[in-house]
Structure formats: C-alpha cells, structure tokens
Amino acid sequence: MEIIKRNFVKCINMTKRFYSENIIITLFLIFALLIIGCYLLKIDCIEHKNAKTVFGLIKDLAIGYIVNFIFYVTQIYIPTAKKNKVLYARINESLNDIGHLMLSIFQEITREKVQEPLSEDFLNGLLRLRLDCRTAVADITRSNRDGIVFYTVRELLYNKIVVVNQRIDTLVMYYQGILQPDIISDLENIKKSQLHTIVFQILFNANDVRFSGMSNFYLQYYELKNKLLADKEKFYEIL
C-alpha cells in the first residue's frame, strides 16, 4: 500500500512538473480533447452538411495534435527527463560537496564541532582568530615521528579556498550549459567573496593580521553557502 501511495505521489509531482514546464501545449491538449468530446456528443445534432464538414475537419486537427502531443511526451520529454535526472543528481552532488567544503572552513579553523545554523555570535567570534593560530587539523605531509604538525589558520584557509575554487571551476566547465543563471551567480559570488579575495591576499602577508574591525566575511560566506544550497533545492530537485 505504501509503495502504491509513493508511486501515486510521484506521478502527481511529475504531472505538476510537466504542466509547469509545458503550460501552453497542455492547455492546447485540453482544448483538443474538448473539441473531440463536443464532436462525439453533437455530431448527430448537426444537420447542415457544410457545418459537419468543418466540424469534422476541426476534429481531425484536434486528433492530429493529440498524436503529436503523445509523440512529444514519449519520444522527447520522457527521455530528456531521464537524462536530466542523472545530470541533476550529479549537479546536486557537486553543489552539496561545495557547500560541505565551505562549511568545513568554520569547523576546521576552530577546535570544536559546529552545528548549523551557525549563530552570528559564533561567526563574529571567528574574527578574533589570528592567522598564525594553530588549528586541530594535522598536516600529514609535515608530521613525523618527532611530532604532529598542525595547520595554521592561514594555511587551512588557503587550502580550503583553493579547493572550493577548483570545485566551482570544474562544475561550471562540465555543466555550464544546464546550470541555472541563479546557480552560476551564486558560484560567482562565492569566488568574489571577501574570503576569496581580500583575505586571500592577506594570507600571503608574512605578518600576522587582526581581523577585528573588519566586516564579517565569515558571516557573508556562510550566507552565500546557504543561498547556494537553497537554490540547489529550488532548481535541481531530483525527479
């Protein structure tokens, strides 16, 4: 019973999606069905020969439209929807990965496990971190039997920003043709954010830097991450 219910709900959702994407041709389908229904009900009531001929011609056009509609649904729309389901799943995975990487910045530069939603006080507290502060993330390339070497905030931010930029570039390169404009805008805003621009330049400053007094680029970054994932759900819900 539960399987039947799920399939019924899935069918309803697919019908709603189809209607929202093909409003005009669906309305024409309804009109064509009404014409055929009227023809079947009223043809015997029409006595004028020319009227019957015209009505019959309109009915034939309606049948032709229905045949073409069925062809479009079975040969074009459904195969495209199946292809998009695979593509949407991959895009969802990539966008989730980018969002996870962005969120991991807040967790890894602190020594505590963070849970969403992040409070503004927590994000403001991140501004008090110094670039040369040690994180709890070990650098296995520099660690040895003499001791474990941990990344500094400076090093961790640099590594994370580079990876996020690479993931964004890869996603846009492979799926630019089907990425929604809002998603592309979100990704561009992430790359142009303060954490990826101003702070990126500061990371190469040999001196330590105090972030207090600056606008909260951590808060901006967190809001950009949330918007990206919200738009992902809006545009790339898996069929």
Residues 107 and 20 in one domain: no
Residues 108 and 49 in one domain: no
Residues 118 and 204 in one domain: yes
- pTM as predicted: 0.74
Condensed to tens digits (0 to 9), the pLDDT of residues 200-216 reads 777 776 676 677 667 88
Give the domain extent around 188. 87-235
Residues 75 and 147 in one domain: no
Q: What is the mean pLDDT of the chain?
A: 84
Convert the chain into a string of H (helix), E (strand) and C (coil).
CHHHHHHHHHHHHHHHHHHHHCHHHHHHHHHHHHHHHHHHHHHHHCCCHHHHHHHHHHHHHHHHHHHHHHHHHHHHHHHHHHHHHHHHHHHHHHHHHHHHHHHHHHHHCCCCCCCCCCCHHHHHHHCCCCCCCEEEEECCCCCECCECCEEEHHHHHHHHHHHHHHHHHHHHHHHCCCCCHHHHHHHHHHHCCHHHCHHHHHCCCCCCCCCCCCCCHHHHHHHHHHHHHHHHHHHCCCC
> Facing residues of 150 across strands?
138
Residues 53 and 66 in one domain: yes
Which residue among 19, 54, 85 closes a domain? 85
Residues 112 and 172 in one domain: yes
Which residue among 61, 85, 109 closes a domain? 85
Residues 169 and 228 in one domain: yes
Residues 205 and 94 in one domain: yes
Strands 134-138 and 150-152: antiparallel
Residues 79 and 69 in one domain: yes
Rounded to whole angstroms, the Cα distance separating 108 from 155 reads 11
CB 106 within 8 A of CB 168: no
Condensed to tens digits (0 to 9), the pLDDT of residues 72-121 reads 999 999 898 888 888 888 999 999 999 999 999 988 888 777 788 888 88
Predicted local confidence at residue 130, as pLDDT: 82
Which residue among 55, 85, 115 closes a domain? 85
Residues 128 and 230 in one domain: yes
CB 138 within 8 A of CB 148: yes
Total of domains in the chain: 2
User: In this predicted model, which residue has the larger pLDDT, 84 or 237?
Assistant: 84
Residues 183 and 123 in one domain: yes
Residues 119 and 92 in one domain: yes
